[in-house]
Structure 1
Amino acid sequence: MAAAGIDLSQVPAMAPPAGQISNFEDPYNRGPAYIVVAAVFMGLATFFVSIRLWARLVVQQSPWWDDAVCVLALLCQATYCGLNIWLCLHGVGKHMWDVHALSLLPLIEPARVMAAVTEPAIGFTKLALMLFYYRIFSRHFVTKLGIFAGLAIILPLYTTLFFLFVFLDTTATTSTNKAMAVLNVVSDFYILVLPLPAVLGLNLPAKKKAGLVALFSTGFFACIMSIVGAVYRFQFANNGADFTFGLLNVILVNTIECSVGIICACLPLFPAVLSHTALGQSADWFVLTLRSIRERLLSSRSRVASINEVHASHNNQFYHETVYPAKNDSCYSILLALYNWLLHPLSVFPGPKLSAASRLPYAWRLWQGQLHENVKQLHDIYGPVVRIAPDELSFNVNSAWNAIYCGGPSNKGFPKHNAYRNAQTFESLFDAPDDQHTRLRRLLKNDFFSLRAARRQEHMVQVYADRLIAQLRAHHCHKSGGCMTGKTRPPPADMRQWYNFATFDLIGHITLSEDFGCLEGQAYHPWILMVLTHFKLSALVMCSRFFPPLSTVISRLAPRRLMRLQNTFIQLITDKVDRRLGRRMPPGQQDFVSIALREGPGDYDEHQQHILQDDSGSDTCQARDIWVSDNRETSGGSQTPSTDTVERLNKGELEANCILLLLAGSETIATSLLSATHLLCEHADAMRVLVAEIHAAAPTESHITFTNTTMNMPYLNAVLRETHRLCPPLANGPARVVGDSGAVIAGWRIPPGTTVGVTQYAANRCSANFTRPEDFLPERWLSPEQAEKYGYAADHQQQFVDDSREVCRPFSTGGRDCLGQNLAWVEFRIMLARMIWNFELDVCPRREKNEHDAWGIGGSKTKKNIRFSAFRKWSDLKAFMLWQKESYFVWLRERHQ
């Protein structure tokens, strides 16, 4: 009778343990968490199956049984998750003592159905994976045998478990649950290692094999989940009293495991969809890179495998179904990054992993102008050879110079990398192919770039040095003996501008017998301003060449102003060359044009007129799309050979080399002069020694000649060499590409196609090459006798005995070294010596006030609140093609003679 009064709706399904009470109102419930997890993983699985079907039915149009099995696995998994969600909404996830006794009974039958559906969901997933392996590795006997064994053993076992769950009583399924837990773990690991025989059969080093195994091990997460699931199944089978709470652990792990398996079976087909869209229409260049992956996977199976045999092997199917379709999407990027990091032939070289995986870090630092400093830091960490990009190595040792830049036809070393050629698309000495370069070099070297020819230009160097000093004395110089303070002092001189003015005017006269009027007008010619912006533009162009699809985007998004700038740049040079070709040179004078055209008595007028009028037979430099085009037309390559017996440059070659000479022959010298001035101003001791030497060797200014500065001023030459060491005109060395037979560089075996180079900035500041590499110490370049003459103790000089001085090669080396280096030495020595002879220089302190107006810098009355200072460290500057120099203001005072 007492039982008749019990309210069964308030009776828990299980008595609470000691210390616990039933909570029917707000119990602890993990059911909602499962619903969220199931929704996420089922959504992902559905998405990837949809992508798989689209790839097979629409893109590849080659559906197979593994696709149908994958759909069946998804349907079973959806049914399984749906049943579990219903169970969670009706009590699963709570403790038994928080569930009404009446609510438990309706859960029994759905739980039995859920347990039965588990087997086909997991079984179909494993079947889809094995069928996928069969499509890839069906030609590999061991792997094929393993697939058949898996199909013959695993599938019957899952089928048996399914019928046991259907027909056995609930109380008799404990052993079945344990058997299923063991089967899940064993089968997952079996499928995981199934492709290993095929992979290990590849002819690869152990490290590369391990990396390739990692690519096939994306299902390892599912194996981990199956182990966790086995633990929960055993716990649930041995202690299932708290049925509703313990069951959630099992269904949660099963849901994740099965969903991950479905995703793994579909992931290789995901890239094919994107390759079928507009994103994949202009990316054939990716195939060239991916070919190395395919050949690495396939040709390594046999040491004598040819490319045709590779295409016939079974792994070719893997390439076309997994990697090749990925050429335009994130999956491609991930696969390629893994390959570059783990399997690439350069993976044995030291360097940061991110740089090994992608060229993006390299391109970003190049665009930021910090590549030189970054490479130096990498060499400091990793040593003499560093992998700075997936296919590029940087060296900082002397032996690498000759190995890379010497040898081969005409001693030119390895060929240049296309991406590192001049950003303009015309050909000059800088970027002409080797055969064309040999001809151009032969035509120009002896008559214009030899030491004898450079000394013939000494008179013009002296003329423009006179003009520079006269302008500085007139506008910025404080008279000797006065105090360099007070409001009446002359304004400081921005030596960056003045050196550029002088070198641009000088090289303009040497090249075209017409300067730009910079010194006279105390301002940049508009063309020069375009030149100074050209180098950063070149860096952007170079970055885009590393990513060809990106170059198309950049060409469309780039401001039209940049393209107009290029057109104007080319047109100005063309006009200047035409104007020069229309006039005679005075008797006894020569410039670059007259030498390039072999002008001489009797043929001057005839050849001049021929060059000007022959528009159809010569290639004039035309403004082309520098962003996209990388197929270069040889200037004059199709021109009909001249009937003249004297070989000359055609007009296109003349314009291209005039542009090169105006760019390289001005900015590099200005950079060297500014860096030397900066270093001397920062090191008073070196300045004092240099001043004493110059005045001792040159009692009057007229004694400052090329011969005198070369023969009688060893400390001046030491200053120049130390300047080139710390501030090389080209911070990043020219890159070359190793030939088809590979090479040995600095003791390292380098595979074919590798981009290599000596980074001058890193080599010159390496502690393994130089003692106190960051310090400005000109005395390191002096002989013991010279050092003793200038008061340096033998103990002091002893520290430089092991310096690798040969590693400092500011003008490169080999058959493509800088032809203008003789002229550069003439300018550098004479201009710097005369500046030091005439002026005392003091660095201007940092200012940001309106003092610009009082000083009248540049003649502008609008320059207000502009930073006015001199940079403190050269290493703080950015470097693109050349250095991006900042203003360097100094006070000038006429030196007391």
Structure 2
Amino acid sequence: MAGFLQQIGGELKQYEISHLILIAVFLCIAYPCIRAIYNLYFHPLRHIPGPPLWIAFPVTRTIGMVRGVAEYQVREAHVKYGEVVRVAPNAISFINPQAWKDIYGHGHAELPKHYPKGINMDPKKIISSNAADHFRFRRAMLPAFSDKALAQQEPLIRVYVDLLVERLREVSETGRPTDMVRWYNFTTFDLIADLAYGTPLQGLAEGKSNAWLDNISKLMKHMPVLVLVGTAPLLGLILRLVAGSKVRNAQANHMALVTKLAHDRIYHRKQADRGDFMDYFMRSRGQPHELSDAELIANSDLLMVAGSETTATLLSGATYWMLKTPHALKKATEEVRNAFKSGDEITFHEVRNRLPYMAVCLEEALRLFPPVPLGLSRSVPKGPPVQIVGLEIPEKTTVSVHHMSAYHSELNFHRAQEFIPERWLPESTTNPASPFYNDRRDAHRPFSFGPRDCIGRNLAIHEMHLIMAKVLWNFDLTLDEKCRDWHNQKIFGLWEKPPLEVLVKQREF
């Protein structure tokens, strides 16, 4: 009898376990479906159009990020749905120019930055600091990017621009195409490292990559994966078990290098008052807005990426689009060569004053190939709805202006998918007969907008103008045929930037 009862009890337990498993499976299937129905038909943002699959199952957009195609998908969504697109259950993307002011601008409470789950940002960096620290950081750092600072930094920068020209001369003698992405990266990383730490990375000198450059490329490709991990905890656990130690070791090694470089610059200065970043940052010592050693280290690391990768990207994009647009390349090259009798005359000041057409070529490259192509997300704070482009946006909604979608939209720019520098010339903005007269140029904010716009804008503009002028003055450039579709590349936060093969030939005098 006892055995019989045990058998019955065992069968009941087995039944209960099976029943619980079935319930668990049902819930795993039912909950996402119920949530999807809510997101589509009952959510406070249900009246805003967008791709239904992204709204119902947001992981589908994250998969697009991992594949490097999500930003193109957002652009396509704006073409289909218009200026305001719901790109996730709680996220809205805008391309109307007014959205820059409403989301990022002055005159209203700051909308705090939003980062996806899985992305951990360092609050000691100006880009991810709170409002109070941001004000302090900006006050301490802004003098490093003033006109006075630029005057001191120009001789340091010219060293690397001249070394770039020297290396390209050597390449031209081989008669073979060379990867201009590689050379622009070496140049901008070397000069920013010198401005940040007084130490070049020897990319131009040795003609090879370094751990810093390689880490940035890997980090950008890992970013979407981290976002996916944030939305799929089980996947996150698996990845942490498989590769967690490698990631932590790589981060630790990188921070050890950054800390050593920063400490060497702070405490063992060989050149006082050289006018570089650290020189200006340390002038805040003893002031209410001073930066601690940890903050100096964190922000110098940030500047290494923000001050080099984006400039190299713009130069690569500008070179490609000019080579794809022969009349623009010819006009810009002739302008540079007619403006200067020798390469030594090419300076920050003279480049900005004498080369208006080359300047609009760079502006058009910033539009067609923006170094930061995605949207910089903000979160609507708790409280009453916020007005954005005339819409009432409720709390906890993530909002942004999507750079690439705004710049490539026919709603903002005539013939938006084409490289047409002339759209930025004064006559196009003042002559009603110009086909570009009605372009909504205030939609174009490649350095962002408002109190958190790019602190290094002044330096970046001077740097890209000087480098491009030097290259055009010294060399004739021809795009290698295999790179004719170079702009069709994946985006992992930043552009993937495959090799841009260009035949570089020293000009004839």
Decide: shared fold, TM above 0.5: yes
The Cα of 1:845 is off from its aligned counterpart by 3.0
The Cα of 1:549 is off from its aligned counterpart by 5.4
Tell me which residue corresponds to 1:662. 304
Tell me which residue corresponds to 1:830. 466
In 1, the alpha carbon distance for the partners of 2:413 and 2:428 equals 21
Pick from 145, 150, 154: which aligns with 1:454?
150
Pick from 147, 165, 172: which aligns with 1:477?
172
In 2, the alpha carbon distance for the partners of 1:423 and 1:723 equals 31
Tell me which residue corresponds to 2:479. 843
Pick from 344, 349, 355: which aligns with 2:54?
355
Pick from 866, 877, 880: which aligns with 2:492?
880
Tell me which residue corresponds to 1:575. 260
In 1, the alpha carbon distance for the partners of 2:453 and 2:413 equals 23
Task: Indicate how the Cα distance of structure 1 residues 668 and 421 shifts in structure 2: closer, same or farther if over 3 A, else same.
Answer: farther
In 1, the alpha carbon distance for the partners of 2:298 and 2:227 equals 19
Tell me which residue corresponds to 1:501. 186
- Say yes or no: does 1:390 pair with 2:26: no
In 2, the alpha carbon distance for the partners of 1:577 and 1:556 equals 33
- Work out whether residues 324 and 484 of structure 2, in 8 Å CA contact, stay in contact via their aligned partners in 1: no
In 2, the alpha carbon distance for the partners of 1:560 and 1:53 equals 37
Task: Indicate how the Cα distance of structure 1 residues 358 and 405 shifts in structure 2: closer, same or farther if over 3 A, else same.
Answer: same
User: Which is further off, 524-533 or 544-553?
Assistant: 544-553
In 2, the alpha carbon distance for the partners of 1:500 and 1:591 equals 20
The Cα of 1:873 is off from its aligned counterpart by 3.9
- Say yes or no: does 1:752 pair with 2:395: yes
Task: Indicate how the Cα distance of structure 1 residues 727 and 747 shifts in structure 2: closer, same or farther if over 3 A, else same.
Answer: same
- Say yes or no: does 1:890 pair with 2:495: no
Q: Which amino acid aligns with 2:208?
A: A
The Cα of 1:560 is off from its aligned counterpart by 3.7
Pick from 435, 438, 444: which aligns with 1:802?
438
Instruction: Determine helix, strand or coil for the equivalent of 1:574.
Output: helix
In 1, the alpha carbon distance for the partners of 2:237 and 2:146 equals 42
In 2, the alpha carbon distance for the partners of 1:776 and 1:747 equals 32
CA RMSD of aligned residues (A): 2.5
- Work out whether residues 370 and 403 of structure 2, in 8 Å CA contact, stay in contact via their aligned partners in 1: yes
- Work out whether residues 709 and 716 of structure 1, in 8 Å CA contact, stay in contact via their aligned partners in 2: no
Pick from 204, 208, 215: which aligns with 1:523?
208
Instruction: Determine helix, strand or coil for the equivalent of 1:496.
Output: helix
Tell me which residue corresponds to 2:12. none
The Cα of 1:696 is off from its aligned counterpart by 2.3
- Say yes or no: does 1:534 pair with 2:219: yes
Between Structure 1 and Structure 2, how many residues are aligned?
A: 495
- Work out whether residues 118 and 226 of structure 2, in 8 Å CA contact, stay in contact via their aligned partners in 1: no
Structure 1 residues 51-91: Cα deviation after superposition (integer angstroms, max 9, x where no partner): 79967xxxxxxxxxxxxxxxxxxxxxxxxxxxxxxxxxxxx
- Work out whether residues 428 and 437 of structure 2, in 8 Å CA contact, stay in contact via their aligned partners in 1: no
Tell me which residue corresponds to 2:3. none
Task: Indicate how the Cα distance of structure 1 residues 420 and 668 shifts in structure 2: closer, same or farther if over 3 A, else same.
Answer: farther
* Structure 1 portions without partners, runs of 5+: 1-49, 56-268, 275-324, 479-488, 600-606, 608-643, 788-793, 847-869
Q: Which amino acid aligns with 1:471?
A: R
Task: Indicate how the Cα distance of structure 1 residues 421 and 471 shifts in structure 2: closer, same or farther if over 3 A, else same.
Answer: farther
In 1, the alpha carbon distance for the partners of 2:498 and 2:389 equals 36
The Cα of 1:397 is off from its aligned counterpart by 1.0
The Cα of 1:452 is off from its aligned counterpart by 3.3
Task: Indicate how the Cα distance of structure 1 residues 51 and 356 shifts in structure 2: closer, same or farther if over 3 A, else same.
Answer: farther
Structure 1 residues 604-662: Cα deviation after superposition (integer angstroms, max 9, x where no partner): xxx8xxxxxxxxxxxxxxxxxxxxxxxxxxxxxxxxxxxx4564211211111011000
Tell me which residue corresponds to 1:436. 133
The Cα of 1:591 is off from its aligned counterpart by 2.3
Alignment of 1:323-338 (within 5 A): 326=27, 329-338=28-37
In 2, the alpha carbon distance for the partners of 1:647 and 1:838 equals 44
Instruction: Determine helix, strand or coil for the equivalent of 1:430.
Output: helix
Percent identity, aligned pairs only?
Answer: 31
* Structure 2 portions without partners, runs of 5+: 1-14
Q: Which amino acid aligns with 1:784?
A: E
The Cα of 1:843 is off from its aligned counterpart by 1.2
Instruction: Determine helix, strand or coil for the equivalent of 1:598.
Output: helix
Q: Which amino acid aligns with 2:317?
A: S
- Say yes or no: does 1:778 pair with 2:421: yes
Structure 1 residues 586-607: Cα deviation after superposition (integer angstroms, max 9, x where no partner): 24413222222228xxxxxxx8
Q: Which amino acid aligns with 1:844?
A: D
In 2, the alpha carbon distance for the partners of 1:777 and 1:819 equals 28
Task: Indicate how the Cα distance of structure 1 residues 440 and 583 shifts in structure 2: closer, same or farther if over 3 A, else same.
Answer: same
- Work out whether residues 372 and 494 of structure 2, in 8 Å CA contact, stay in contact via their aligned partners in 1: yes
Tell me which residue corresponds to 1:603. none
Task: Indicate how the Cα distance of structure 1 residues 586 and 749 shifts in structure 2: closer, same or farther if over 3 A, else same.
Answer: same
In 1, the alpha carbon distance for the partners of 2:278 and 2:236 equals 35
In 2, the alpha carbon distance for the partners of 1:397 and 1:833 equals 33
Q: Which amino acid aligns with 1:713?
A: L
Alignment of 1:626-665 (within 5 A): 644-645=286-287, 647-665=289-307
Tell me which residue corresponds to 1:718. 360
| Higher Cα Rg, which structure | 1
Provide the TM-score with structure 1 as the length reference. Answer: 0.53
Instruction: Determine helix, strand or coil for the equivalent of 1:842.
Output: strand
Tell me which residue corresponds to 2:177. 492
Q: Which amino acid aligns with 2:368?
A: L
Alignment of 1:400-411 (within 5 A): 400-407=99-106
- Say yes or no: does 1:565 pair with 2:247: no
In 1, the alpha carbon distance for the partners of 2:117 and 2:414 equals 32
Instruction: Determine helix, strand or coil for the equivalent of 1:394.
Output: strand
- Work out whether residues 444 and 596 of structure 1, in 8 Å CA contact, stay in contact via their aligned partners in 2: yes
Tell me which residue corresponds to 2:113. 416
Q: Which amino acid aligns with 1:872?
A: D
In 2, the alpha carbon distance for the partners of 1:842 and 1:51 equals 73
Q: Which amino acid aligns with 2:242?
A: L
The Cα of 1:534 is off from its aligned counterpart by 1.5
Structure 1 residues 430-461: Cα deviation after superposition (integer angstroms, max 9, x where no partner): 1112221111111111x212343234322222
Tell me which residue corresponds to 1:139. none
Structure 1 residues 369-414: Cα deviation after superposition (integer angstroms, max 9, x where no partner): 21111100000001001111111111111011111111367x7x31
Alignment of 1:86-97 (within 5 A): none
The Cα of 1:565 is off from its aligned counterpart by 1.8
Task: Indicate how the Cα distance of structure 1 residues 736 and 646 shifts in structure 2: closer, same or farther if over 3 A, else same.
Answer: closer
Instruction: Determine helix, strand or coil for the equivalent of 1:819.
Output: coil
- Say yes or no: does 1:468 pair with 2:110: no
Q: Which amino acid aligns with 1:331?
A: A
Q: Which amino acid aligns with 2:446?
A: P
Task: Indicate how the Cα distance of structure 1 residues 659 and 591 shifts in structure 2: closer, same or farther if over 3 A, else same.
Answer: same
Instruction: Determine helix, strand or coil for the equivalent of 1:457.
Output: helix
Instruction: Determine helix, strand or coil for the equivalent of 2:129.
Output: coil
Task: Indicate how the Cα distance of structure 1 residues 468 and 421 shifts in structure 2: closer, same or farther if over 3 A, else same.
Answer: farther
Structure 1 residues 282-339: Cα deviation after superposition (integer angstroms, max 9, x where no partner): xxxxxxxxxxxxxxxxxxxxxxxxxxxxxxxxxxxxxxxxxxx95xx22211111111
In 2, the alpha carbon distance for the partners of 1:785 and 1:385 equals 28
In 1, the alpha carbon distance for the partners of 2:127 and 2:344 equals 36
- Work out whether residues 50 and 85 of structure 2, in 8 Å CA contact, stay in contact via their aligned partners in 1: yes
Task: Indicate how the Cα distance of structure 1 residues 439 and 823 shifts in structure 2: closer, same or farther if over 3 A, else same.
Answer: same
Task: Indicate how the Cα distance of structure 1 residues 646 and 425 shifts in structure 2: closer, same or farther if over 3 A, else same.
Answer: closer
Task: Indicate how the Cα distance of structure 1 residues 441 and 588 shifts in structure 2: closer, same or farther if over 3 A, else same.
Answer: closer
Q: Which amino acid aligns with 1:381?
A: K
In 1, the alpha carbon distance for the partners of 2:224 and 2:490 equals 12
Instruction: Determine helix, strand or coil for the equivalent of 2:504.
Output: strand
